[in-house]
Structure 1
Amino acid sequence: MKTTIVGFPRIGENRELKIATEKYFRGDLTQEQLAAEGKRLRRMHWNLLKEAGISLIPSNDFSFYDTTLDTAVLLNVIPNRFSALQLSALDTYFALARGYQGEAGDVTALPMKKWFNTNYHYLTPEFEQQTEVKLVGTKVFDEYLEAKAIGIETRPVILGPYTLIKLSDFKGTTVQEHLPALISAYQEVIAKLSELGAEWLQLDEPSLVKDLTPDERQLFMSIYRELAGGTRETKLLLQTYFGDVRDIYEDLSTLPVDGIGLDFVEGKQTLQLFETFGFPQDKKLFAGVVNGKNIWRNDYSRTLNLLAKLPHDQLVLSTSCSLLHVPFSVAQESFPAEVARHFSFAKEKLSELTELAAIADPTDDIAKSALLADNYRLFDTARVTANEQLTHRLAELTAADFQRLPAFEERSRLQKSALALPLLPTTTIGSFPQTREVKAARAAFKKASLSEAEYHDFLREKIADCVAFQEDIGLDVLVHGEFERNDMVEYFGEHLSGFLFTKKAWVQSYGTRCVKPPIIWGDISRERPITVGWSAFAQHLTEKPVKGMLTGPVTILNWSFPREDISLKESTLQIALAIQEEVLDLEAHGIKIIQIDEAALREKLPLRKSDWYSEYLDWAIPAFRLVHSRVAPETQIHTHMCYSEFADILTAIDQMDADVISFEASRSNLSLLDALSAQHFQTAVGPGVYDIHSPRVPSVAELRATIQALLEKIAADKLWVNPDCGLKTRDEKETFASLKHLAQAAQEARKELVYDNIE
């Protein structure tokens, strides 16, 4: 039985790609040197897969920033404002991803959005009326030949045309205007790969697992009948993931493709569809049976029961999705053996695939027996002991525990009186730049070369400087800067029971941004205050309100590797009770504004709307309400959500019953505003006025124009002014300049509002 994977992590064993790319951004590496590092990583990964025994190895799953962007650039889907910069091909690519501000011009980056239900982010391709779709790039061919040159036959991977369309913005144009050229360009890719001798091409179509209308099904089928028809040497694998394809399964069977990749992990109805409608005998079934998103070992007994129902002669064992979403290898960690044996990262999942293939071989009973024994023992014993006291607390919760009183309007009136904030209050989302100095001090403290007293003195000095800067430029609601935090989730996990932490388990979030999700190992509870001391210290430095900064329970869950032995709902409510204790402690220490970030609220939202409430929102929204339900009416509760699409879940967001919600908005061209207006959104809002994921500094005039655009859609007494997201990844120079401009723009807009009212 053959084995494969949908894709492999590209950042490298030790984040080599991140390090090299950021050196290039700083001018410390040439284009040739960056290209050489990419080539070295690709070679290492291909050889690793080959040595692990993977039969069918993918290529072109590597990217310097994002594979969706790679496909757009391959097909010349580059907006004119970027082409007009006349930069090199590589710098144009990075300008699309990060924006550009320099001698050649000043452009903002393409919008960035969540990749389906993951913490990865993709760049949104943009079609214009003048876009000439055609094959202009060579990356997919170059990397295939690169692997072939070292004796490894690969299966090139690109984003499929239907998903490319569904993820793209069409500015002043329509899909139909570009469809013939798009299909022609994909046909040219197939023809070129056939000339080069590629046996397979993988076309990723994850958009098929979402709800499909009749028109969407028709569009997909018309594309693939034309694309896949005719004579060709290269076989086509239609790869889906993140769910099942119930809306189009029967139609897929009729397509002239050679393989279909189905997700048997997240695809709730995948097996049922297979058993009800069968599977075409002329196609290979690429069965996603090893979880590509979580880090727990595969339960071989369950997987083998599944495999027994599938046609072995047509079967290729695969991962449920790309291994991009898990760390590189458990071998890099220092867990005790009894703990480590429960985990499977990307490298270990390769072994799981080859072991399952060997076990499924009916001719090799000896191998089957040896390989099964350890796996059976792993799942035969309980891994953790339940916290009975916590279980009892959860069981005693009633509807009243999830309801904050008084109602929003009465709270709003009380808060305006208590806080006495001006119109268009300004603030930041929380974190300030994590400079080398900050990182070095934290590392020294962890290595015990800096005492706790010395480290805390350092942090207090940084906080004092941060507060002074904010006061100096005139921000209205301040933050302490979060210099003590390595990560907004890991930091909280370190102060809660039930978490495990890794040293090198990095996962790419976007571009060069990598995160190290903690692992939820057992039941979660709070044993001592987490943030109270730092927030209280900052508040003592100023008469202005300082926000207490917390990460919400849903985001802590979604940005961790969750347990699989209890429900996501139960884990989230455990976290919610712990964060509730922190909220009440902050309030007791004089913190009048508390921000509970739910940046990842949408991340585990089911991809099908019919499942939104029954499987997620019915417990995720109440979990947030549980966190703040017991605070005083005068305490103002904020939350923040970043880089996602929120228009379709605004009703649920309003039900969170926060007092102020800040959103990412700048990269979506403020398109959320119309939805807020149509929804009659009650909560005060802070749509981000500039993009913190780009190094460019917005001018005062640009920010004034943005604030004016916001005021056309949002009442002045409901509008806050803030950046898109936290500032920890930015450098101090650009951060300080941007915030000064933000404060000045808001102050000018405020004066104009006051003047207009007088007139």
Structure 2
Amino acid sequence: MALAHVLGFPRIGAQRELKFAQESFWQGVTNEAALRETGALLRARHWKAQADAGLDFVTVGDFAWYDQVLGTLALLGAIPARFGFVPQRLTLVEYFTLARGGKQHFAMEMTKWFDTNYHYLVPEWKADTEFNGGVDWLFEEIAEAQALGYRVKVALIGPLTLLYLGKMKANDRGELDNKVETKVETKVETKVDPKLALLPNIIAGYKKLLAQLQVSGVEVVQIDEPILALELENDWVQAFPPTYAALKPAAPPLLLTTYFGEVKAHAALLRGLPVMGVHVDLVRGADQLDTIVGEWPQDKVLSLGVIDGRNLWRCDLDSVLARLKPLQAQLGDRLWVGSSCSLLHVPVDLKCEDKLDTELKSWLSFATQKLSEIVALKLALNTNGLSNCSKVADAEFIASRAALASRKISSRIHNRLVQKRLDSITEADAQRVSQFNTRIDKQQAKWNLPLFPTTTIGSFPQTQEIRISRAAYKRGDIGHLDYLDKMRNEIRLVVQKQEELGLDVLVHGEPERNDMVEYFGEQLWGYAFTANGWVQSYGSRCVKPPIIYGDVYRPEAMTVGWSQFAQTLTDKPMKGMLTGPVTMLQWSFVRDDQPRETTALQIALALRDEVRDLERAGIGMIQIDEPAFREGLPLKASEWKHYLDWAVRAFRISAAGVADETQIHTHMCYSEFNDILPWIAAMDADVITIETSRSDMKLLNGFGAFSYPNDIGPGVYDIHSPRVAQVDEMERLLRKARGVIPDRRLWVNPDCGLKTRGWPETYAALENMVTAARRLRAEVEAELKAA
């Protein structure tokens, strides 16, 4: 009999209960007991949903107070020593300090979880890092689930993935140690990742943890090793057999899980590992089944991730069942069906959506509905045909067929005008009139900016008053003119404060925008929006990704009025703010009936129209943000070029329709850029701003080594922490940046937008930033005069 399970369930709650409990705790409004109570209620609710749907296990260990990687470090006792916290006595206050920083501490670095929009806290490794055990929160959760009568499967990040995702640190500021050890074997010198020197330590920590789980009566441990979907160096691949051979004697049955891509290259490795079973992703690795199944061991479970954990379209259950049914004779009860990856990446429950139209809603499946799809497949596999299935399973198959048929014939999906415009694009549409050196001279003549010009990334604090006004307008409680007046008053305030601070290039603050993708999607044809389709991005930060269901088209200008009004309030340059085509794509749930690059190109054409309208309205600087540019990379480097080529082309088409004097900016954050710098340069933005403060400007080194030709604004302070960076800290970072980037190309700005921060800390931090820039400016000008 096939079994059914999921690799994880969203932790935030259908109404973002965890988010509000976290933020209330951080603000001191509620205590730790109240926060823990909310967590326990959410866990119990989510386990009940899994059990009621008919899954064979509930998944425990997928809950985290902020991030599952940080939670694993806390469990193993491997938190950064620089914080001075005792791992075994770690409190929630200290845990959140690791993630968010504090007055005395720099927060841990944060980056994207593989190619998703989820962010994790990067482990900090030192040569003497130990894994001697930490908090017992996981064991409390196991006891909760067992007390409720559930069969428990624990989800853990695997030791090799945890080790791989971390960075070696050299000092107590968390700065990188880039040394690479070498070893010589048979006179052949090979580089060895220094992180692997920690392998004995981390194995010892996992052995202790797994032994405790065995004593706790856990039936299965799902041990996640998604790095197997990467193109791993050989030393990492070779580390798997001895690692799992060492873990097996002390462990409950282990289900090694891979996801986010195919793992065909490791088929023999996976067949030979000493584990109970292996899980593979048949959504992102649809063509790997035959390779994996071939010669599959008769003593191993094969778990197949057939329900998409990263998108929300209903599954074609008949097609999936047709693929799985032949395997049953071979595998019998060793065949498991599940989600491709954790359901962390999709909204919680479609039942919370009461404003989506009936047709569109029938096409969708959120996390709770995906449980039923998985169970329907299990029941169909375990019976002699669909006619013998339960009514619930039969209903899922009927709904799946109806959704597929409806999408094929719906007139709302295809727009002939959009298709015609796509066909008319030429390579000239992706080219600026002149090269950068010509453009930047014209732009400097127009704007006369000082050395180290200061600016921000776009958004300013979204106060409670702004949110109340926006919600009232959306409900119809206030009229359009009243709403316009409230937003314009906020823009006046933002411009006034920027003038007071002495910033050189201003923004309007984006008070009218709920989200940098949702705002634009609401004004484009082909997009739909949910009321409660929230997905966790990091910590308490939740986003509500739009749904791209059809051809994308811009019916009218989206931002011109706001930017034009803001420009009337100042003589300084006002940046128009747009979200780029790749980010609009990456941070949406994208239609699956055409290539992603086609959808990206449709968005690029819509944005191109907006850019040209902004220019005609007198806005001479336009920022087209692409924070998700690198996030879209395939996990295997051999597949990068195709993606990068069409992603660059989409950006250039959105930006290239303007005159030389119009300055195009872009912004990217929380990404490693060094390996894609040729393509970032090919985007040909006049100014790029990037996140660099948490890496202590290390991310900037690649730009210097590459001799990046255009202007750069490295972030000089971390906006994801409430801590106000001091002038000398920012000045130190700027001096490091000057060692990499020529003065005439160097801008000064925060890491990212200021939407999530409060006004007091925002004003203080920007004041310090402007002071740091002015100090360096005066110093350089004095040197030039002396020369």
TM-score (norm 1): 0.97
- CA-to-partner distance for each residue in 1:390-419, whole Å, 9 max, x for gaps? 101101111111111211111111111111
- Measure, in 2, the Cα distance between the counterparts of 1:482 and 1:336: 29
Look up the equivalent residue of 1:149 and give its one-letter code.
A
- CA-to-partner distance for each residue in 1:271-299, whole Å, 9 max, x for gaps? 14225x43222111111000000000000
Alignment partner, residue 42 of structure 1: 43
TM-fit CA distance, 1:268: 4.3
TM-fit CA distance, 1:88: 5.2
- Measure, in 2, the Cα distance between the counterparts of 1:645 and 1:233: 35
- Measure, in 2, the Cα distance between the counterparts of 1:175 and 1:375: 46
Find 2:665's aligned residue among 616, 634, 638. Answer: 638
**Any conservation in 1 of the 2:353–2:531 contact (CA below 8 Å)?**
yes
Look up the equivalent residue of 1:290 and give its one-letter code.
I
Alignment partner, residue 340 of structure 1: 361
Indicate the percent of aligned positions where both proteins have the same amino acid. 46
Q: Structure 1 residue 676 and structure 2 residue 703: aligned? A: yes
Q: Structure 1 residue 648 and structure 2 residue 675: aligned? A: yes
Residue ranges of structure 1 left out of the alignment (5+ in a row):
none
- Measure, in 2, the Cα distance between the counterparts of 1:20 and 1:329: 20
SS in 2 for 1:7: coil
SS in 2 for 1:740: helix
Alignment partner, residue 574 of structure 1: 602
Alignment partner, residue 144 of structure 1: 142
Alignment partner, residue 379 of structure 1: 404
Equivalence map 1:490-505=2 (5 Å): 490-505=518-533
Look up the equivalent residue of 2:341 and give its one-letter code.
C
Q: Structure 1 residue 586 and structure 2 residue 586: aligned? A: no
TM-fit CA distance, 1:711: 0.7
**Any conservation in 1 of the 2:261–2:281 contact (CA below 8 Å)?**
yes
- Measure, in 1, the Cα distance between the counterparts of 2:386 and 2:373: 17
**Any conservation in 1 of the 2:696–2:733 contact (CA below 8 Å)?**
no
Alignment partner, residue 187 of structure 1: 207
- Measure, in 1, the Cα distance between the counterparts of 2:388 and 2:431: 57
TM-fit CA distance, 1:13: 1.4
Question: Do the aligned partners of residues 300 and 679 (structure 1) sit closer, same or farther apart at CA in structure 2, a change above 3 Å counting?
Answer: same
Question: Do the aligned partners of residues 622 and 717 (structure 1) sit closer, same or farther apart at CA in structure 2, a change above 3 Å counting?
Answer: same
Look up the equivalent residue of 2:384 and give its one-letter code.
T
Q: Structure 1 residue 459 and structure 2 residue 487: aligned? A: yes
- CA-to-partner distance for each residue in 1:468-508, whole Å, 9 max, x for gaps? 11111110000000001111111001111111111011000
- Measure, in 2, the Cα distance between the counterparts of 1:526 and 1:390: 10
SS in 1 for 2:623: strand
Equivalence map 1:192-591=2 (5 Å): 192-228=212-248, 230=249, 232=250, 234-275=252-293, 277-311=294-328, 312-313=331-332, 314-334=334-354, 335-368=356-389, 371-381=396-406, 382-385=408-411, 386-591=414-619
Alignment partner, residue 716 of structure 2: 689
- CA-to-partner distance for each residue in 1:64-95, whole Å, 9 max, x for gaps? 10000011111121222212699952122111
Q: Structure 1 residue 753 and structure 2 residue 780: aligned? A: yes
TM-fit CA distance, 1:756: 1.5
- Measure, in 2, the Cα distance between the counterparts of 1:199 and 1:364: 30
Alignment partner, residue 166 of structure 1: 164
**Any conservation in 2 of the 1:384–1:522 contact (CA below 8 Å)?**
no
Look up the equivalent residue of 1:494 and give its one-letter code.
E
**Any conservation in 1 of the 2:363–2:404 contact (CA below 8 Å)?**
no
- Measure, in 2, the Cα distance between the counterparts of 1:85 and 1:440: 42
Relative to structure 2, which stretch is displaced further, 201-210 or 69-78? 69-78
Look up the equivalent residue of 2:109 and give its one-letter code.
P
TM-fit CA distance, 1:521: 1.6
Residue ranges of structure 2 left out of the alignment (5+ in a row):
171-176, 178-193
TM-fit CA distance, 1:367: 4.0
TM-fit CA distance, 1:360: 2.0
Aligned residue pairs: how many?
751
Find 1:112's aligned residue among 110, 114, 118. Answer: 110
SS in 2 for 1:100: coil
- CA-to-partner distance for each residue in 1:409-462, whole Å, 9 max, x for gaps? 111111111111111000000000000000011111112221211111111111
TM-fit CA distance, 1:309: 4.1
SS in 2 for 1:107: coil
**Any conservation in 2 of the 1:133–1:178 contact (CA below 8 Å)?**
no
- Measure, in 2, the Cα distance between the counterparts of 1:394 and 1:655: 22
Look up the equivalent residue of 1:267 and give its one-letter code.
G
Alignment partner, residue 659 of structure 1: 686
- Measure, in 2, the Cα distance between the counterparts of 1:379 and 1:447: 33
- Measure, in 2, the Cα distance between the counterparts of 1:235 and 1:452: 61
TM-fit CA distance, 1:246: 2.4
The two structures, once aligned, show a CA RMSD in angstroms of: 1.5
Alignment partner, residue 748 of structure 2: 721
Look up the equivalent residue of 1:706 and give its one-letter code.
L
TM-fit CA distance, 1:17: 0.3
Alignment partner, residue 742 of structure 1: 769
- CA-to-partner distance for each residue in 1:237-284, whole Å, 9 max, x for gaps? 101110011232211111110010100000144214225x43222111
Alignment partner, residue 71 of structure 1: 72
Look up the equivalent residue of 1:239 and give its one-letter code.
T
- CA-to-partner distance for each residue in 1:118-161, whole Å, 9 max, x for gaps? 00000001112343221222122221111101111211111100
SS in 1 for 2:445: helix
Alignment partner, residue 731 of structure 1: 758
**Any conservation in 1 of the 2:57–2:150 contact (CA below 8 Å)?**
no
Question: Do the aligned partners of residues 148 and 581 (structure 1) sit closer, same or farther apart at CA in structure 2, a change above 3 Å counting?
Answer: same
**Any conservation in 1 of the 2:130–2:202 contact (CA below 8 Å)?**
no
Look up the equivalent residue of 1:259 and give its one-letter code.
G
- Measure, in 1, the Cα distance between the counterparts of 2:622 and 2:517: 17
TM-fit CA distance, 1:712: 1.2
- Measure, in 1, the Cα distance between the counterparts of 2:326 and 2:384: 18
- Measure, in 2, the Cα distance between the counterparts of 1:224 and 1:318: 23
SS in 2 for 1:690: coil
- Measure, in 1, the Cα distance between the counterparts of 2:423 and 2:385: 49
- Measure, in 1, the Cα distance between the counterparts of 2:285 and 2:209: 30
Alignment partner, residue 127 of structure 1: 125
Look up the equivalent residue of 1:10 and give its one-letter code.
R
- CA-to-partner distance for each residue in 1:160-184, whole Å, 9 max, x for gaps? 0000011101124742442212101
TM-fit CA distance, 1:645: 1.6
Alignment partner, residue 595 of structure 1: 623
SS in 1 for 2:41: helix
Look up the equivalent residue of 2:21 and give its one-letter code.
A
Alignment partner, residue 81 of structure 1: 82
- Measure, in 1, the Cα distance between the counterparts of 2:234 and 2:283: 26
TM-score (norm 2): 0.93
- Measure, in 2, the Cα distance between the counterparts of 1:187 and 1:73: 16
- Measure, in 1, the Cα distance between the counterparts of 2:360 and 2:706: 48
TM-fit CA distance, 1:371: 4.8
